[in-house]
């Protein structure tokens, strides 16, 4: 299974079982994935905006949470653990309804108990609008039989997706 296919399957699990992500981020598209790295896009709609009609900081915080989980999934964990810390730094407006938001998330450290991720959010022109970080406790996630850690590790060693 490719990394992209696996990450998309984890995203589909979020969409099928979670309460928040499918309501807020249902139109999120995972566009690329390699072990430890995921790219995604979100078409901004009204429900993503604040009363100033620009992208709501809570949308970016939720995206930091979800994308961090997808970065962990790109390392082969199907169950992606629980959050211990989330941080978002807002640099400029992320856009308004009708605009495209892009993201790139990296799993910076992947251990037996903790994973650490960082994400960059860009507007359609590539301008940086925010960055985030997400720490996850993953010790129990290693027990899931749907994991593909060894498969993803092998792909990474071979330099493949």
Fold of domain 3-152: Thiol Ester Dehydrase; Chain A (3.10.129)
> Domain boundaries in the chain?
3-152
Q: Which two tokens stand for residue 148?
A: 């593909």
pLDDT at 160: 65
**16 Cβ partners below 8 Å, 6+ apart?**
22
HSE-up of residue 98 (Cα within 13 Å, Cβ side): 1
Tell me which H or E stretch contains 61: helix 57-73
Distances (CA, A) of 76 to 48, 54, 62, 83, 133: 30, 35, 22, 17, 20
pLDDT at 66: 98
pLDDT at 51: 97
Q: Which residues of the chain have pLDDT under 70?
A: 160-161
pLDDT digits (tens, 9 = 90+) for 78-88: 999 999 999 99
pLDDT at 161: 65
Neighbours of 50 (CB within 10 A): 11
């Amino acid at each position: 299974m490719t990394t992209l296919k696996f990450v998309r399957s984890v995203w589909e699990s979020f969409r099928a079982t979670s309460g928040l992500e499918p309501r807020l981020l249902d139109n999120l598209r995972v566009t690329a994935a390699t072990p430890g790295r995921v790219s995604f896009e979100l078409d901004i709609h009204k429900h993503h905006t604040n009363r100033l009609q620009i992208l709501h900081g809570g949308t970016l915080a939720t995206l930091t949470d979800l994308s961090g989980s997808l970065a962990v999934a790109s390392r082969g964990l199907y169950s992606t653990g629980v959050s211990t810390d989330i941080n978002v730094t807002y640099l400029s407006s992320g856009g308004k309804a009708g605009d495209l938001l892009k993201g790139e998330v990296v799993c910076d450290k992947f251990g037996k108990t903790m994973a650490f991720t960082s994400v960059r959010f860009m507007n359609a022109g590539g301008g940086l609008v925010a960055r985030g970080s997400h720490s996850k406790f993953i010790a129990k996630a290693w027990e899931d039989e749907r994991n593909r850690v060894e498969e993803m590790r092998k792909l990474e060693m071979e330099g493949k997706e």
